[in-house]
């Protein structure tokens, strides 16, 4: 074992002591730079949180070849390929009714309401249920369920051109990927549903 170089040890201890002293009593410029760095980090995190808050989860589905969506907050349930029981004397836009958990629920042909010539599916339609103000549910018959997407509400464009007319009131906006977000409040105010609340 070699000799200990006490001068080197003393030099290192002095250097560590000076660094510790500086860290324990930082100057004003150092404190300011640390605070600025922390503020920038917090600001970036806040921007990220705000971005995440504007994302709206949407269930996307098909009506004929077009892609539509409904906010997940408006949905209560989805039934796969269900055949509705037609009700004589009801409007053509009403597919019929289904028994959901022991309660009869109306099912709207949303394609007909929007003026889309939908395809008739003999195996039934997927039914997307919306909750109304009173707590009862209304079903919308759709051709196919796609996926859940995240949509930025501020990036929705207001419908115009082809969408103008009667069906435009049922459309909340269109995404860049041409997903048409439906206005569930307007759909639930359809005249045919007034007496079924």
Q: How confident is the model at residue 52 (pLDDT cuts 50, 70, 90)?
A: low
Instruction: Please give the residue that has the higher pLDDT: either 165 or 78.
Output: 78
The secondary structure of 104-145 as a DSSP string is EEEEE-HHHHTT--PPP-TT-EEEEEEE-TTS-EEEEEESEE
Beta-bridged to residue 108, according to DSSP, are 94, 140
Residue 95's closest CA among 132, 130, 126? Answer: 126
Give the whole-number percent of the chain exceeding pLDDT 90.
Answer: 24
Return the CATH superfamily for domain 55-196: CheA-289, Domain 4 (2.40.50.180)
Q: How confident is the model at residue 118 (pLDDT cuts 50, 70, 90)?
A: low
Helix, strand, coil content of the chain in percent (nearest 5): 35, 35, 30
pLDDT of residue 164: 45
pLDDT of residue 100: 85
Q: How confident is the model at residue 97 (pLDDT cuts 50, 70, 90)?
A: very high
> What is the average pLDDT across 76-101?
88
Distance CA 168, CA 35 (A): 51
> What is the average pLDDT across 40-50?
67
Distance CA 130, CA 185 (A): 10
**114, pLDDT greater than 80:** yes
Q: Decide: 86 and 135 in contact? Cβ < 8 Å.
A: no
Q: Decide: 179 and 58 in contact? Cβ < 8 Å.
A: yes
What is the dihedral sign for C-alpha 78, 83, 87, 88? positive
For the chain, the domains span 6-53, 55-196
């Amino acid at each position: 074992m070699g000799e200990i170089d006490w001068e080197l040890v003393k030099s290192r201890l002095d250097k560590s002591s000076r660094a510790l002293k500086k860290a324990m009593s930082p100057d004003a410029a150092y404190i300011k730079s640390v605070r600025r760095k922390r503020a920038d980090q917090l600001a970036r995190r806040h921007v990220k949180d705000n971005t995440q808050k504007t994302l709206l989860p949407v269930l996307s589905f098909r009506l004929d070849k077009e892609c539509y969506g409904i906010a997940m907050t408006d949905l209560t349930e989805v039934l796969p390929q269900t055949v509705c029981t037609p009700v004589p004397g009801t409007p053509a836009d009403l597919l019929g009714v289904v028994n959901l958990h022991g309660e009869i629920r109306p099912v709207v042909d949303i394609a007909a309401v929007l003026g889309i010539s939908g395809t008739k599916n003999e195996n039934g339609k997927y039914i997307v249920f919306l909750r109304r103000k009173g707590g009862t549910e209304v079903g919308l018959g759709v051709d196919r369920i796609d996926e859940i997407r995240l949509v930025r509400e501020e990036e929705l464009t207001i419908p115009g051109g082809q969408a103008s007319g009667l069906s435009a009131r049922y459309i909340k906006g269109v995404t860049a990927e041409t997903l048409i977000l439906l206005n569930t409040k307007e759909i639930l105010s359809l005249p045919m549903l007034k007496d079924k609340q």
